[in-house]
Structure formats: structure tokens, C-alpha cells
């Protein structure tokens, strides 16, 4: 069986703004009905990749194709309105002088015929805004504006939908709702969707696959659980969880660290680093790791404990369930979940420091 052909394909795409390099060679395929999250810190090139896909910017090198047709390479350039791409921007970019219905109808046939009107009504119903059709954007909340922007982008049934930080202007509770609604609408539309975000929770919640970017390149790509469980380097690991880094020594595929021994497949013998999720620790009667508690901070569902352990000069911060009673000055017996410990070559951290903007 063949994998379905990609609807949106980037092949070795590079881009520079004058002398500022923003993309260093990005290749990525997105299939129909798939949501790919482009995740990464500010300035890593996420918006640039969306802008070249939409045709708002012409890449310096490489090829972009949509539904099997080259839309931009060294020779061809298809203008944005001819690419069949829907766009949702961070600020929603609604037309302030048009009401909700006219905003949604904007990308449809004009003058608006019966079909366009029916599509608009149907889209507004799908985003739960049928009753607001004749309100103007300034009369809507942030979440409602986001839904109008989404309805407008989806109304022409684009093969590709590009969303740039669509949730970042929403507060936490609303953000969770909008994430779920957006995901449902994207899935229903069957479009190939690329969603840009700097928030790992957004990416985890919404994406079928995450492409984690750093400094103009995709560092790792995979299903959320793949990336979370098998980060290729400390940068990827730290993007999704808080970690403490400990010195380690590797011999015969095993790392010896101040908190125990852990598998270290693929690591050369010698000095290494063990990155430990703060949540990898638990209090256990038969725990192998004694720790003296220096300080405790309440965080809601969890509490942060600053601990000292034998063989380590610095204080470690770990996260424990809030229900445990922990007092400064006492000694805990801890267990460490090996699934939360990642051993990397010592040089990886040097590489990562260099790669940071
Ligand atoms: P992100 O969306 O991941 O925050 P961008 O794609 O916006 O990143 O930017 C990538 C890099 O390109 C950044 O260093 C940014 O400063 C630079 N950049 C973006 N747009 C322009 C522009 N119009 N002119 C010059 N440099 C730009
Ligand atoms: Mg951006």
C-alpha cells in the first residue's frame, strides 16, 4: 500500500531576509486531514515557513508544492490567491468594516450568490456563531473572533490550512476550548493543516505530528508521544518538560549518575549528561535514593522540593504530588522512574548552546 500523497510538500526550503537566514533547508510533507504543529522558540522560522507556503514571501531556494503542483521554486511562482490555501493569523485580521457574515463570505464567489450565502450560514453554524452573523468584529470576544477567522479560512474549502499562533491571544481556559473546537473543525474539513505555535501544550493537544524547529531547521519530527518519549537531544527534551541535568559516566551502555544507574544506549563511554524530568521522582518506602529537603514550594497539583543528595554539590529541584507531606529539614526516600531519565553525550549541551540564537 502507498502512503497517501502529500497535499503540501516542502523540499529543502531555504529563506533569507537580506542577510538574515531564517530557514536553512526544511523538508516536510503534510497529508490530507493531517494536522502538523510547527513548534519552536520565537525567531526559529515558523512564521517564515507558513508565509512561503502561502506565497506571501518567495523562498530563496527549494520547492513548495500543493496537491502535486509546484507552487514555488526557482522558476515557478503561483500567487497566494491561486494556491487554494486558507490562512488564520494570530491577530485574526478580520475586516473591521464588514459584519461577521461578510467576513466569512469574503473568500467565496462575488457577488454572493445563493451557494455562497448557504455556505456562509453553514460555516457560521459550525463555529457556533449563526446568531452573530450581523455583528461587527469589535462586538465579539477574542474567542469569537478566532472562530470567525477560522470560518472565513475554511469556507472556500481549501486543500491547505495554515494557522499562525491562533490561540496566543486567548486566555488559558478559553484556549483549551478553542484548541478542541479548532481541531474538530480542521479534522472535519479534511484539509492538510499546519499550525504554528511556541506552546508545547498546544502542539501536544492538537497535532498528529509535531515538527520541532530550532534556528531555521526541523530538529525532530514525529507523533507527540514519540517526541516526548524519545527526544533526540536535550533541547527537544527541555522543550516539553522541566529537567535537571546531572553529570554521568557511561560504560558498556550504562550511565552512572548521583541518582542511580540508567541505560545509555548509543552513548560513547566516558563523560556524559543525564537529563532528568523533575516529575521522574516519587516518594517510596523502599526508595534507593535518600534526599534531604531544603525547601518546599506549593504549586497546586504539585509541589516543588529542593533537595540535596549525596555525591552532588548543587541543589536539585524535583516535583512531587501535592498530597505528600514534605517538610524542610527532613529526609526523604526517593525512587526514580527510568522513563524520565535521558542520557546524552556531554557534547550535546555544547552544541545546543552554540545553536541558540
Ligand atoms: P518565528 O515565527 O518562529 O518567531 P520568524 O519566521 O518570524 O520566526 O522569523 C525567523 C527569523 O527571521 C527571525 O530571526 C526574524 O527576526 C527574521 N525575520 C522575520 N521576518 C523578517 C523580515 N521581514 N525582515 C527581516 N528579518 C525577518
Ligand atoms: Mg511567528
Q: Where are the domains of the chain?
A: 8-229, 242-355
Q: Assess contact for 57 and 47: CB atoms under 8 A.
A: no
Question: What pLDDT score was predicted for residue 357?
Answer: 42
Q: What is the 76 CA–ligand 1 centroid distance (Å)?
A: 24
pLDDT in tens, 298-308: 999 999 999 99
Instruction: Say yes or no to pLDDT of 88 above 90.
Output: yes
Instruction: Say yes or no to pLDDT of 347 above 60.
Output: yes
Mean pLDDT, range 154-162, rounded to an integer? 94
CATH superfamily for domain 242-355? Nucleic acid-binding proteins (2.40.50.140)
Q: String of b and e for 229-246 (b: at least 16 CB within 10 Å)?
A: eebebbbbbebbbebbbb
Residue of 48, 51, 58, 197 with the most ligand 1 atoms within 8 Å of its CB, for mutation: 48
Instruction: Say yes or no to pLDDT of 112 above 80.
Output: no
Question: What pLDDT score was predicted for residue 48?
Answer: 97
Q: Kindly give the number of the ligand 1 atom that is closest to the alpha carbon of 165.
A: 2
Q: What is the CATH number of domain 8-229?
A: 3.40.50.300
Ligand nearest to the CA of 18: 1
Q: Kindly give the number of the ligand 1 atom that is closest to the alpha carbon of 20.
A: 26
Instruction: Say yes or no to pLDDT of 287 above 80.
Output: no
Ligand nearest to the CA of 45: 1
Q: Residue 297 — very low, low, confident or very high, per pLDDT cuts 50/70/90? A: very high
Measured from CB, residues less than 6 Å from any atom of ligand 1 are 17, 20, 22, 40, 42-48
Q: Whose CA is nearest to atom 16 of ligand 1?
A: 43
Mean pLDDT, range 255-272, rounded to an integer? 93
Comparing 50 with 173, which gets the higher pLDDT? 50
Question: What pLDDT score was predicted for residue 63?
Answer: 98
Amino acid at each position: 500500500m502507498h502512503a497517501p500523497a502529500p497535499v503540501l510538500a516542502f523540499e529543502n526550503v531555504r529563506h533569507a531576509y537580506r542577510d538574515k537566514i531564517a530557514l536553512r533547508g526544511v523538508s516536510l510533507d503534510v497529508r490530507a486531514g493531517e494536522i502538523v504543529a510547527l513548534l519552536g522558540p520565537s525567531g526559529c522560522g515558523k512564521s517564515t515557513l507558513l508565509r512561503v507556503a502561502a506565497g506571501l514571501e518567495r523562498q530563496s531556494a527549494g520547492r513548495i508544492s500543493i496537491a502535486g503542483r509546484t507552487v514555488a521554486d526557482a522558476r515557478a511562482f503561483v500567487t497566494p490567491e491561486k494556491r487554494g490555501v486558507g490562512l488564520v493569523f494570530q491577530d485574526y485580521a478580520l475586516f473591521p468594516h464588514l459584519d461577521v457574515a461578510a467576513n466569512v463570505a469574503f473568500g467565496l464567489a462575488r457577488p454572493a450568490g445563493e451557494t455562497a450565502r448557504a455556505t456562509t450560514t453553514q460555516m457560521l453554524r459550525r463555529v457556533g456563531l449563526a446568531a452573530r452573523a450581523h455583528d461587527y468584529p469589535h462586538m465579539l470576544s477574542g474567542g469569537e473572533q478566532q472562530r470567525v477567522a477560522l470560518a472565513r479560512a475554511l469556507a472556500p474549502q481549501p486543500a491547505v490550512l495554515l494557522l499562525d499562533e491562533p490561540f496566543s491571544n486567548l486566555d488559558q481556559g478559553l484556549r483549551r476550548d478553542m484548541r478542541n473546537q479548532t481541531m474538530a473543525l480542521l479534522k472535519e474539513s479534511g484539509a492538510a493543516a499546519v499550525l504554528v505555535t511556541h506552546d508545547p501544550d498546544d502542539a501536544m493537544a492538537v497535532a498528529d505530528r509535531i515538527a520541532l524547529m530550532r534556528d531555521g531547521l526541523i530538529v525532530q519530527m514525529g507523533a507527540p508521544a514519540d517526541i516526548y518519549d524519545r527526544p533526540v537531544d536535550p533541547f527537544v527534551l527541555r522543550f516539553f518538560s522541566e529537567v535537571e541535568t546531572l553529570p554521568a559516566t557511561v560504560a558498556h551502555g550504562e550511565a552512572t549518575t548521583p541518582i542511580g544507574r540508567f541505560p545509555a544506549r548509543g552513548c560513547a563511554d566516558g563523560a556524559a549528561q543525564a537529563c532528568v524530568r523533575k516529575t521522574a521522582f516519587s516518594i517510596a518506602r523502599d526508595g534507593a535514593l535518600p534526599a534531604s529537603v531544603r525547601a518546599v514550594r506549593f504549586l497546586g497539583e504539585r509541589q516543588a522540593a529542593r533537595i540535596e543528595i549525596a555525591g552532588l554539590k548543587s541543589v536539585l529541584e524535583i516535583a512531587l504530588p501535592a498530597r505528600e507531606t514534605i517538610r524542610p529539614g527532613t529526609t526523604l526516600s526517593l525512587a526514580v522512574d527510568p522513563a524520565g531519565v535521558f542520557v546524552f553525550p556531554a557534547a550535546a549541551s555544547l552544541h545546543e548552546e552554540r545553536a541558540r540564537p
